């Protein structure tokens, strides 16, 4: 094959040499007839399409799209499939002007190459996945770590530049692969050191050690007591809500005191915090209330003989209602398990009813670096200031983002609010993510923007239209209404 049949791709720092009919290492660019061609389509958003009473989000429109010119105020040009600005000095691939309610607007569109990026993963579960700071692995490689345990959810931090580029080549490749799959809505298997094996996927229930999670907890043990104390009043003498963090005891709790529930002589292991609230009744685990116990009686000491009485009724339940047991004290004040009475069955079901479905939430987080900002303006710091002052709206594939306060442009976006397969990669390794900057045309000029590269919306031809998600704010709305956050 002659040298003329090979072209060099400059879409990322890898600079692949691509033969005729082949693709680069990223599978995003190819050699077609001696021309460098982007292989996946450029995505344009339309307003949500209604079918009857329902709105169909991200409805694929390619079946009736004939490559006509793009037009209309209900069309938004995303960065998905647009290409990148590498090397830094080039203007963004698309700088599109449009008129919205009599205001001249411009949207600067580019696909950013993110080495400084990662995923914040929220896993709704009552089970203990792993200790804070423990390493999270995929295919045996370190790809992140466990962070804090929030109310009914476990948080993981995955990716970041140190995993992408600071370790071995294989670590970087695996990290990039799991980030790409998570951001594009695919399932990923992870393992936590001295912890659980989990399967996670955006907007799907997590699978913990082979068991699919159904619900997140309604609250801690103390909060559960507060919510349901009235429903237990006069139906049972004592209730213990078992929880890894704060186990609640009805008779000692303020809610029980206000209802006039008498002392029962119950004694719990662990550290007493405030009345009716106990810490560390057991070790963390995947059983009762996120603890490691299989038998709930193991957290109880002996009942006080001068307070308790034979026949005392005791309900023990977890914060999801998944585990429960009913006991009555015998003549020696020992709990004997009995069948759960019907009057208490409803309260257990009510706990379950108040638990939200367990899901995984994938938040892509990245910092917009030199290539991005230099592709928007010759003076990049002005773009940072414009974003901070809410003159410029930032979106990812048309989806709203959270812009972190402070220096730079650090964004976070829920990937489930973006069109499917919005992310790509380059084998440096780094993630490729769409990012759009929308602002008034006059303000863009003041930024030192590339005014000679602005082209009207009507000049754009796109081969893939999708409908914007109905609950996303329309990216072209008046930016004067946009909050700084």
Q: What is the mean pLDDT of each run of 10 residues along the chain (485 residues)?
A: 71 82 82 81 73 36 44 82 80 91 90 94 95 97 96 95 95 97 98 97 97 92 96 96 96 96 96 95 93 96 96 97 97 97 94 95 92 89 94 96 94 96 92 95 95 90 80 78 41
Sheet containing strand 238-242, edge to edge, reads 271-272, 277-279, 247-249, 238-242, 313-318, 324-329, 335-338
Q: Specify the pLDDT at position 269.
A: 93
Q: Is 174 left (phi over 0), alpha (psi -120 to 50) or beta?
A: alpha
> Is 173 part of a structural domain of the chain?
yes
Q: How many residues does the chain have?
A: 485
Backbone angles phi, psi at 90, to 5 degrees: -80, 140
> Is 27 part of a structural domain of the chain?
no
66 & 88 share domain = yes
Show the tokens assigned to 207. 């699978």
Q: Specify the pLDDT at position 14.
A: 78
Full residue range of the structural domain in which residue 308 is found? 221-353
Q: Specify the pLDDT at position 24.
A: 84
- Angle between helix 342-353 and 221-232 (nearest 10): 140
> Is 275 part of a structural domain of the chain?
yes
Q: Specify the pLDDT at position 458.
A: 84
Give the whole-angstrom CA distance, residue 17 versus residue 30: 10
> Is 13 part of a structural domain of the chain?
no
70 & 188 share domain = no
52 & 132 share domain = no
Q: Specify the pLDDT at position 483.
A: 41
Helices and strands in the chain: count of H runs, count of E runs? 8, 34
- Four-point Cα dihedral 229, 233, 238, 239, nearest 10: -30
Residue from 295, 319, 350, 126 nearest 240 by CA: 319
> Is 446 part of a structural domain of the chain?
yes
Q: Specify the pLDDT at position 47.
A: 76
88 & 176 share domain = no
> Is 21 part of a structural domain of the chain?
no
CB 94, CB 109: distance < 8 Å: yes
Last residue of a domain, one of 216, 236, 271: 216
Q: Specify the pLDDT at position 121.
A: 98
Give the whole-angstrom CA distance, residue 150 versus residue 220: 11
Give the whole-angstrom CA distance, residue 90 versus residue 282: 59
The reported pTM is 0.86
């Amino acid at each position: 094959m002659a040298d003329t049949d090979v072209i060099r791709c400059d879409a990322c720092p890898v600079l692949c040499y691509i033969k005729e009919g082949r693709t680069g290492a990223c599978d995003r660019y190819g050699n077609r007839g001696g021309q460098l061609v982007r292989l996946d389509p450029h995505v344009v958003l339309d307003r949500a399409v209604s079918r009857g009473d329902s709105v169909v989000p991200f409805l694929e429109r390619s079946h009736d799209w004939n490559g006509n010119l793009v037009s209309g105020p209900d069309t938004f040009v995303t960065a998905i499939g647009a290409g990148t600005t590498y090397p830094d000095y080039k203007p963004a691939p698309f700088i599109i002007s449009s008129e919205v309610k009599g205001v001249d607007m411009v949207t600067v569109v580019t696909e950013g190459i993110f080495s400084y990026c990662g995923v914040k993963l929220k896993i709704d579960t009552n089970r203990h996945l792993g200790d804070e700071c423990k390493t999270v692995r995929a295919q045996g490689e370190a790809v992140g770590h466990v962070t804090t345990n929030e109310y009914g959810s476990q948080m993981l931090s995955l990716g970041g530049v140190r995993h992408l580029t600071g370790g071995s080549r294989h670590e970087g490749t695996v990290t990039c692969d799991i980030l790409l799959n998570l951001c594009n809505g695919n399932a990923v298997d992870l393992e936590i050191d001295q912890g659980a094996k989990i399967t996670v996927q955006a907007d799907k229930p997590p699978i913990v050690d082979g068991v699919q999670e159904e619900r997140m907890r309604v609250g801690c043990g103390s909060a559960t007591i507060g919510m349901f104390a009235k429903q237990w009043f006069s139906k049972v003498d004592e209730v213990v809500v078992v929880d890894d963090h704060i186990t609640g005891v009805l008779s000692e709790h303020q809610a029980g005191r206000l209802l006039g529930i008498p002392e029962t002589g119950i004694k719990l292991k662990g550290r007493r915090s405030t009345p009716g609230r106990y810490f560390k009744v057991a070790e963390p685990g995947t059983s009762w209330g996120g603890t490691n116990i299989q038998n709930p009686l193991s957290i109880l000491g002996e009942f006080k003989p001068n307070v308790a009485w034979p026949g005392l009724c005791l309900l023990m339940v977890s914060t999801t209602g998944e585990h429960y047991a009913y006991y009555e004290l015998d003549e020696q004040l020992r709990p004997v398990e009995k069948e759960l009475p019907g009057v208490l069955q409803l309260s257990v079901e009510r706990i379950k009813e108040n638990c939200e479905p367990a899901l995984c939430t994938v938040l892509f987080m990245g910092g917009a670096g030199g290539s991005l900002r230099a592709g928007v303006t010759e003076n990049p710091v002005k773009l940072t200031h414009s974003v901070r002052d809410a003159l410029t709206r930032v979106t990812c594939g048309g989806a709203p983002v959270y812009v972190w306060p402070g220096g730079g442009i650090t964004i976070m976006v829920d990937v489930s609010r973006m069109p499917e397969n919005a992310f790509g990669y380059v084998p440096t390794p780094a993630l490729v993510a769409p990012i759009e900057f929308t602002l008034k045309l006059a303000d863009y000029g003041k930024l030192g923007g590339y005014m000679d590269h602005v082209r009207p919306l009507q000049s754009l031809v796109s081969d893939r239209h999708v409908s914007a998600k109905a609950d996303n704010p329309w990216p072209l709305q008046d930016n004067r209404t946009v909050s700084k956050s």
